[in-house]
Amino acid sequence: MRRSVMGATAVAVLLASAACGGRGEEGGTTAQGECKGQQTTGITDKSVKLGGIYPLSGPASAYGQIPVGVKAYFDSVNAEENGIGGRKVTFVFRDDGYQPARAVEEARRLVEQEQVFALFQTLGTPSTTAVWDYAGQRKVPQVFVATGASKWGTDKSHPWTIGWQPNYISEARIYAQFLKGEKPQAKVAVLYQNDDFGKDLLGGFKKAIEGSQIKVVAEQSYEVADPSVDPQMRNLAGSGADVFLNVTTPKFGSQALAADAKNTRWNPLHIINNVAASLTVLRPVGFPNVQNTVSAAYYKDPVDPQWANDAEMKRYKAAMAKYAPNADVNNQYNAFGWAAAASFHKTMQAMKCPTREGLRDAMRNLKDVRVDMLLPGISLNTGADDGFPIESMQLMRFKGERWELFGQVIDTRKEFGPVTH
């Protein structure tokens, strides 16, 4: 008897709920006048709300410093310039622990509950990939995602998502270009991380040296979970290469540099990729051991003394001291966040309509937009056929206790043409 009562209740409830049917599209607010019908959720004449998703916990929590720099930038713009064009910026950031499932949850929270105007940065290729379909469906701009995968620029079906930093293929082209001038007969050994980042960079490098005398003579991969890259380094040393391309994340970058320094019989020209080029990676190896290592950069390093009197660097350091007193002002990730936030500022200023559609159009139509935290000579450029805001970098060589920039800024788009997949 009880069971039948239960069953009847359940059926009744199901019928009732089925009768209710689905819900309609709940619309946000829309604009009037010239931009009629475009979405104005999260933006008014006095305010704009942005949401970001970063790994504040978990294996990639080192990147959790990026939103600190972003927030310091927006806080200082709010205080000193009354926000972006009179709109005070509220920046909400959430933790996804580098888990795609949680990134989806947080993106939904930001869009549906916090009602943000745009997603400003999601970090990491997996998390960003998990979110970009959703952003496209809801027509929410996903601006300047913090990952260098090339698909943010090559993909045509996600107009609401755009990258920011030079993609890994562009970076690989910089090194190829450098070798073509410096060592046209180079025999290259490559150590790379076995994921999208490592493969994008290695693939890009191989493509960029096509038609030249440069050859990749040995390649070894490692997993993020590996304790050490020493075995790989031993194999590479046996290859007789005269150039070593170090495509690693910080921890493994240090290990590879140390292994190279220890092996006195193998002394290749050491190229380390930008991700692992910070001083915190080089210091444990010992500066005397990493002299003349080559890398590439696109934004100003807070510890580099040549920017000590740079106006933007001073502004950054003052703002960090004021709005993020507990953060390490010399941490590159803070500066990265600052530069991306400043780029967003410029993009907002370029919007024709103060709407989500306006932001999407603005971020896809940047013309020589100069951001002061980027190296001189590097500017943001996008267009109908160009989904990569930054494609230029400058080479640098380690001298004494710091990186020294050398040569000209290399525009890889000009040298190699657009990145295609």
DSSP collapsed to 3 states, 35-74? HCCCECCCECCCEEEEEEEECCCCCCHHHHHHHHHHHHHH
DSSP 306: G
Return the closest-CA partner of residue 168 out of 249, 65, 102.
249
**Closest C-alpha among 384, 331, 340, 310 to residue 70:** 340
Q: Is 28 in the site for other proteins (CB under 8 A)?
A: no
Residue 17 interacts with other proteins (CB under 8 A): yes or no: yes
Does the footprint of other proteins cover residue 400 (CB under 8 A)?
no
Asked if residue 228 binds other proteins (CB under 8 A), the reply is: no
Q: Say if CB 117 and CB 43 are below 8 A apart.
A: yes
Q: Which is nearer to other proteins, 221 or 330 (CB)?
A: 221
Cβ atoms of 119 and 142 within 8 Å: the answer is yes
Residue of 49, 87, 88, 94 interacting with other proteins (CB under 8 A):
94
Does position 53 interact with other proteins (CB under 8 A)? The reply is no
Q: Which is nearer to other proteins, 28 or 407 (CB)?
A: 28
For the chain, counts of helices (H) and of strands (E)? 14, 14
The one-character DSSP state at 283 is G
Binding of other proteins at residue 142 (CB under 8 A)?
Answer: no
Site for other proteins in 181-200 (CB under 8 A): 194-196, 199
Residues 287-326 that bind other proteins (CB under 8 A): none
Residue 398, CA distances (Å) to 63, 290, 292, 293, 300 in order: 24, 7, 5, 5, 15
Question: Of 103 and 341, which has the nearer Cβ to other proteins?
Answer: 103
Binding mask of the shown chain, residues 107 to 126, with x at each position contacting other proteins by CB under 8 A? -xx-xxx----------xxx
Q: According to CB under 8 A, which one of 91, 98, 252, 266 is a site residue for other proteins?
A: 98
CB of 231 or CB of 284, closer to other proteins: 231
Q: Is 231 in the site for other proteins (CB under 8 A)?
A: no
Binding to other proteins, residues 336-355 (CB under 8 A): none
Closer to other proteins at the Cβ: 24 or 400? 24
Question: Least Å distance between CB 53 and other proteins?
Answer: 11
The answer to whether 5 contacts other proteins (rule: CB under 8 A) is yes
Residue type, 142: Q
Whichever of 17 and 264 has its CB closer to other proteins, that residue is 17
Residues 212, 194: Cα–Cα separation, whole Å:
26
Report how far residue 242's alpha carbon sits from residue 251's, in angstroms, rounded to the nearest whole number. Answer: 24
Q: Answer positive or negative: Cα dihedral of 6, 11, 12, 16.
A: positive
Least Å distance, CB 168 to other proteins, is 13
**Binder among 35, 62, 104, 369 for other proteins (CB under 8 A):** 104
Q: Which residue in 30, 35, 47, 57 binds other proteins (CB under 8 A)?
A: 57
Q: How many CB atoms neighbour CB 59 within 10 A?
A: 10
In the complex, least distance from residue 390 CB atom to other proteins, rounded to whole angstroms:
22
Question: Using the rule CB under 8 A, which residue among 36, 44, 58, 321 binds other proteins?
Answer: 58
Cα 245 to Cα 236: distance, rounded to the nearest angstrom: 10
- Sequence-ordered strand ranges (E) for 109-154: 118-122, 142-145
Query: What is the rounded CA–CA span in Å between residue 286 and residue 303?
Result: 17
- Give the one residue of 43, 53, 116, 130 binding other proteins; rule: CB under 8 A: 130
Question: Which residue from 277, 292, 289, 384 is spatially nearest to 336, judged by alpha carbons?
Answer: 277
Residue 211 φ/ψ region, left for φ over 0, alpha for ψ in the -120 to 50 degree band, beta for the rest:
left
Q: How many residues bind other proteins (CB under 8 A)?
A: 49
Does position 59 interact with other proteins (CB under 8 A)? The reply is yes
Segment near other proteins (CB under 8 A); pick from 37-45, 51-59, 228-236, 262-270: 51-59
Q: CA nearest 122: which of 113, 184, 108?
A: 108
Residues lying near other proteins in the complex (CB under 8 A): 2, 5-6, 9-10, 13-14, 16-18, 20-23, 26, 56-59, 61, 93-95, 97-102, 104-106, 108-109, 111-113, 124-126, 129-130, 133, 194-196, 199, 223, 225
